[in-house]
Amino acid sequence: MQKRLYLVTGGAGFIGSHICERLVREGHSVRVLDNFISGCEENLSEFRSEIDLVRGDVREPQTLTEAMKGVYAVFHQAALGSVPRSVADPLTTHESNLTGTLNVLISARDAGARRVVYASSSSVYGETAELPKHEGMMPQPLSPYAVSKLAGEHYIHIFKQCYGFEAVALRYFNIFGPRQDPQSQYAAVIPRFVTALLEGRRPVIYGDGMQSRDFTYVENVVEANLLASEAEGAAGQCFNVACGGRYTLIELLDRMKKVIGSDIEPEHTPPMKGDIRDSQASIERAEKLLGYRVKVNFEEGLRRTIEWFQKQA
């Protein structure tokens, strides 16, 4: 296997750290660029001595120029990843997610990197009656966060058209797994539910709990990123990354309670602004063009995640 240098922006974050771990395990050199707004150095602790850590921000072109030197490919995970935060502060979301992505693409192009793999989001689809959601559908973003991710996809397409530079967008569907932060006010639902149940608190459900999601274990996302960094014919395109299933929040909570052995009932509060009702992915395009396959299904991923949180408690 040829050893290569990869840059992971946002590499100290939840998904980014899992990508780093996989690359290190496969014998590659890894450089991480992170501003630690949402990332955590503890996420890198098990392999910290084997990576080059750069403290900086994708909004800083000079920092990116330095971080990009000698890089074979880039996994661009850095972002402010919250719908509620984007509604409250759209400008900062725009600067971090869109200006930051444009900076990454320019720096990678100028440095001669082979490809950028960009973390997009299922939120670009918005509220649609058609399920499963597929890449041929018209995006209907409902939040500044979703708009920032969709605009990044357009830049990826344009960089292929205008400069011949290769980049691929992966639309993540509700990723979960170890290292996901349950403490943030913008925390995803699974770490919030797990933590509440383990601490004997009532989990909070926004709305009636019948909204559904295609929950996707993080190992599947890592696999998709590595495939997207090499797949022929993928440049300039977007791909759903998910498991292709659908579970309501009530079903999710019931499964978690069963694994943990809890009978705590949830607390319901009003729905969040910008939140969609139902989400499920078609993963046919990723299967066909990337060679993507679901490695860890929802049930197994949920079991592993709960086990990890139990060890942290």
Interaxial angle between packed helices 298-312 and 249-260, expressed in degrees from 0 to 180 and rounded to the nearest 10: 50
Picking from 175, 8, 168, 193, the residue whose alpha carbon sits closest to that of residue 81 is: 175
Contact 207, 270 (CB under 8 A): yes
Catalytic residue among 145, 172, 247, 292: 145
| Dist. CA 160–CA 139, nearest whole Å | 20
Contact of 251 with 311, CB cutoff 8 Å: no
H helix and E strand count, the chain: 11, 13
Q: Is 206 considered catalytic here?
A: no
Please enumerate in sequence order all residues whose Cβ is within 8 A of that of 72, keeping only pairs 6 or more positions apart, or say none: 4, 5, 6, 113, 114
Look up residue 268 and give its DSSP letter: E
Residue 68's Cβ-side half-sphere holds a number of Cα atoms within 13 Å equal to 25
Rg (CA), the chain: 19
* Positions marked active-site: 145
